Amino acid sequence: MGELVVVRHGQTEWSRSGQHTGVTDLPLLPDGEDDACRLRPVLEQRQITHAFVSPLQRARRTAELAGLFDGVVETAIEPDLVEVDYGGYEGLTTPEIAERLGQKWSLWADGTVPGDTPGETLAQVAQRADRVLERVRPLLADGDVALVAHGHVLRILTARWLRLSPEAGALFPLSTGRYGLLGREHDWPALTGWNTGCP
C-alpha cells in the first residue's frame, strides 16, 4: 500500500509576505523555483504512480520542476485541489484582517467573508478534499500518489485523511516547498511524515 505525498508549492510573493492567496494566480519566485527543484530527487526516490495538481500556476510549476510531468508518473490537473477561496480576505495578512475586525482572526475559527469572490467555509473545502481522497484511495494499491497544491487545502485534506474535522487542519502547518506523508499504521490512517524540507 502506497502513501499520499502532499506537496505545497514553492514560495510566491504573497506567501513570503504572509498574504492570503486563494484564487489569485501568482507565479513562483526564483526561490520558489529552487524549492521545487529540490523536491525532484526526493520524489524520484518514491514509487509515485499518479500525481494530481491544482490548476493554479504556482502548483503546476512546482509539479513540473519536481519532475511530475516527465512521463514516468500519470499526472492530472485536479480542480478540487485549488486553495481556499478567502473571499474578502484575499490578499490580506492575518494582522490586517484582525485590524479590520478589531479582534483576533483565524481561518480555522472564524472563516471567510464574501468579497470579489464568495469565499468558502471549511466544510465546503472539506467536501472538495473528500472527493480527492475518494478518487486517490484506490490508486494507493499500486504505489504512492502525489498531491501538489496549497497550504490550507492540504491541511484540511490531511485532517480528513485522519478522520478529523476540517478545523483540525490548524494542527498541521505546511511551509512552502515542503511535503508531508499520509499513510497507514495497522490499517488506521496515520501521519507518517510532515513539513519535511529538502536539502
Please give the positions annotated as active site: 9, 83
Paired residues of 74 in beta bridges: 50
What's the CA angle centered on 39, arms 149 and 197, to 5 degrees? 85
- Residues paired with residue 185 on neighbouring β-strands, in sequence order: 188
Q: Which three cell numbers stand for residue 186?
A: 495497522
Rounded Cα distance, 163 and 160, in Å: 5
What is the residue-wise DSSP string for 93-121?
Answer: -HHHHHHHHTS---HHHH--B-SSS----
